[in-house]
Amino acid sequence: METNTEAFALSRIESDLGYKFRQSSLLLAAVTHSSYAHEQAEDCEHNERLEFLGDATLELAISDYLYEQYPQEREGRLSRVRAAVVREPTLAAVARRLGLDKQIRLGGALRSGPPQAAICADCLEAVLGAVFLDGGWTAARELIVRLFREPIEDAFADRLIFDYKSLLQQHFQTYRTIDGIEYRQISKTGPMQAPQFEVGLFVDGTEISRGRGKTIKKAEQEASRAAYMAIKETED
């Protein structure tokens, strides 16, 4: 059973979400990181499974909304917009806007500072998964559309970068002569069900940046982003 403090925190999250849970235990699990759950004497559900469900719910809801609202757009552009919207930095920004970063239950050393972007993004996905279980597809889709309408508009207006790998490749083709860009996996850490990959980006054999992500593709995008931003800083 949740404590009075937990009940107050959950009520605040519900107010910020604009959604009232019938099963508050789902929301409590959604804001519980595995590091917190592993410290508890009794069984404590954490948010990894809800994150898995929320990730799929989010992608389908965004896809459905884009298909419905932008009938003239081609598949390629819709895919790039969706990719920009569901990226970790966008999810983390939405999570922080909702105040989820202040409500996540963390354990161990993670309590010592504000939660990382990945933790905030995962928590948001878990909350969306919890809404799907609690209220069904319609409730989840309505919430997702409300939360992500502005990021979607930003993506179409090119205020969100879609694909840093392509952007970096285009930059080199336009402004520099190189033999090639290569991505190399540097490390793989974490449990099998939630790995973290680190990738190095090499230009003509020289490493210029690194990136981390839950998949190799995401790590490559983060490495490309770091390289592109560094290049733009030197040009400004």
DSSP H stretches of helix in 70-203: 75-85, 88-97, 117-156, 164-175
32 DSSP 8-state letter: B
User: Does 235 qualify as catalytic in the annotation?
Assistant: no
- Which is catalytic among the residues 51, 55, 101, 134? 55
Element (H, E) at 157: none
- Which is catalytic among the residues 51, 88, 122, 125? 125
Instruction: Kindly tell me the sign of the dihedral angle through the C-alpha atoms of 62, 66, 67, 73.
Output: negative
Written as one letter, the residue type at 4 is N
CA torsion 105→56→14→135, rounded to 10°? -130
B/e letters for 69-88, b = 16+ CB within 10 Å, e = fewer, are eeeeeeeeebebbbbbbbbb
Contact (CB, 8 A) for 214 and 196: yes
Token pair in block for residue 224: 């490309």
User: Does 55 qualify as catalytic in the annotation?
Assistant: yes
CA dist., res. 92 & res. 233, Å (int): 24
CA dist., res. 111 & res. 75, Å (int): 42
Active site residues: 55, 125
